Structure 1
């Protein structure tokens, strides 16, 4: 761990980074809805994903060459930088209710093993994985048990935090599993990080709160706001399995496949724009998406909400800093 005059910083390697939602949460230093999310003490050494367009979106925001295109299924962990923390939202389509549900039977469903290979090689202090709620339900919980067992056998204490996003300030009905791993020798001395407190349990933020100010914006003066699927192609109630949002409730889940179910604006007869989807997912307005609308919304839907990631990262930072304090 590298030290500076004010506080320690902790190195991070990111697997399956996508467009960078989880990474943004760990980095901090962004503004969402006029609220500042301060910089956290993490330095992301490198991020990897096999999807070139995700890497391009990532590097457009974080800076050139922060992330590389890499097939992690065949990557040698010896070639990866050693870090204090490994983070990664290993591919979830095989576990998602919107995906093909191959589970551990599929090659993609076993990609978490690439994180385990890194753990065995570099022995990071902590590992933070992320996945969909359906992982908990598959085969009556047996799939998650196998994954936890594999992680534990790599030398880690493993716990799963189930986080319903609206309870943590995300204006979207999305539940994520955060798979927390602490290296056994560290756990034996310092215990385990505390879960984030669900401070919005009885006061969910609504879709209107998230995007209401964008109703009159019809151009790209707010990035990506002029990009939406035309009302002529998808109208409410036309039998496309549409989801009509209620303005005083959190939005429905932004899906990785926007064609699987149509997300409609709460008051306008059209689909949500790319920027509206990004707002609902808690990306800051200066985080831009430059590909087709389908690709852009897919990147957003696959991401971890940055605010949710930030709250997890804060707990990790507090834990590591307390550990450093006890060592002194």
Structure 2
């Protein structure tokens, strides 16, 4: 059993894949966003009630039949006590260590998983963010990750971030990633890294992320972690297969009933159990102008073309900017996987237009969650905006589960234990 901590947890996409009591014991989850912490707590409750064979109470809550107070009153307090809602900073790091130490007791911490917020390293908006670089604290949040490594000396860590970190330069104009790796190395770790596309591991989305794996130098691990991960490669289904059992709804409408039973093996394996219920399937209301644009964008998509903003008729354009952000409207393709789900989906759905022309809308929270690899019984607190933000910031749980399995096999290859 490996004792692990999840830092910068978000709603728990990375956590979800490591929820395997045969191999992992979560000491705590640390997250600054209150909404994400609420989702983490609710997910803890889901897994507790599942073990108690009493999920009916959970389903009653997410359908709005009982209150949060009612739900929490029947669950032991310690079920949600491992979630710390606190920003990781110079001012809070000592109190966070106290929290972890109290929960650890005399046990050793074996692993740290997580990744600092990635917006600072993203290639999107890099030019406009250049002027903020000298004051952007997010650039150096990785140093707090180092604080955890230095204090607890775990056997391994997983550091997940955007592909843009490969090319990101710090305020001195030098590449940051080699510096990060050098600092991990000085802490006593060997570090390997690779850009992973989630779609290669069964996620219905082209999502490239940089994965750094570190392990203590005293461990006799001569193999590559990524050789173990490669064994979990899996072809994803199409969007059409992913959405096959979801009902047809139009802009501003909602549904809480599935279209029917699913036939997809993928949905049965990762997305939905026979006892699950449909929630958070509410389509955003769109104005008539946007609906007209959606139709044009989707018709172009079906002909194999992504319609640029400058190609939209003048009478439908509401923005004067015709030189940048020209792909602000984008449709999904039924016969392929999705493009990357990002947190901006919380602001509008223009970049994620549903592939069915008859529905003519952007995707729902539940559809976005499925694309990200969350099961239907995962409920996101509180608002629709908060839910979309949590989904866009998450590590796909399907990928996370495969990372967790590969870690176990990788650590078992330690020559000292054979």
TM-score by length of 1: 0.85
The runs of 5 or more residues in structure 2 that have no matched partner are 46-79, 102-107, 258-276, 298-315, 318-326
Q: Choose 290-299 or 241-250, whichever is displaced more.
A: 290-299
User: Are the aligned partners of 1:244 and 1:266 in contact in 2 as well (CA < 8 Å)?
Assistant: yes
Do residues 191 (structure 1) and 191 (structure 2) align? no
Aligned residue in 2 for 1:263: 352
Deviations 1:127-146 (A, max 9, x none): 11100111112239812112
Distance 1:227 1:198 in 2: 37
The runs of 5 or more residues in structure 1 that have no matched partner are 1-8, 29-38
User: Are the aligned partners of 1:278 and 1:300 in contact in 2 as well (CA < 8 Å)?
Assistant: yes
- From 160, 178, 191, give the equivalent of 1:130: 160
How far does residue 123 in structure 1 lie from its aligned partner after superposition? 0.4
Distance 1:181 1:24 in 2: 21
Aligned residue in 1 for 2:16: 24
Structure with the higher helix share, 1 or 2? 2
Distance 1:40 1:193, change over 3 A: farther
Distance 1:199 1:114, change over 3 A: closer
Aligned residue in 2 for 1:288: 379
Aligned residue in 2 for 1:208: 240
The residue correspondences of 1:39-188 to structure 2 (distance < 5 A) are: 41-63=23-45, 64-74=80-90, 75-76=93-94, 78-79=97-98, 80-81=100-101, 82-98=108-124, 101=129, 105=134, 106-139=136-169, 142-186=175-219
Count how many residue pairs are aligned between Structure 1 and Structure 2: 306
Q: What is the root-mean-square deviation in Å for CA atoms of aligned residues?
A: 2.5
How far does residue 40 in structure 1 lie from its aligned partner after superposition? 5.4
User: Are the aligned partners of 2:113 and 2:158 in contact in 1 as well (CA < 8 Å)?
Assistant: yes
Q: Choose 215-224 or 296-305, whichever is displaced more.
A: 215-224
Distance 1:141 1:220, change over 3 A: farther
The residue correspondences of 1:2-41 to structure 2 (distance < 5 A) are: 9-28=1-20, 41=23
**Could you say what secondary structure the match of 1:205 adopts?**
coil
Distance 1:47 1:58 in 2: 8
Deviations 1:207-249 (A, max 9, x none): 1222222134742344434323123374314658111011011
Which structure's CA Rg is the greater one?
Answer: 2
Q: Which runs of 4+ in 1 moved over 3 A?
A: 97-105, 198-201, 215-218, 221-225, 237-240
Structure with the higher strand share, 1 or 2? 1
- From 229, 252, 269, give the equivalent of 2:284: 229
TM-score by length of 2: 0.68
Distance 1:45 1:179, change over 3 A: same
User: Are the aligned partners of 1:84 and 1:125 in contact in 2 as well (CA < 8 Å)?
Assistant: yes
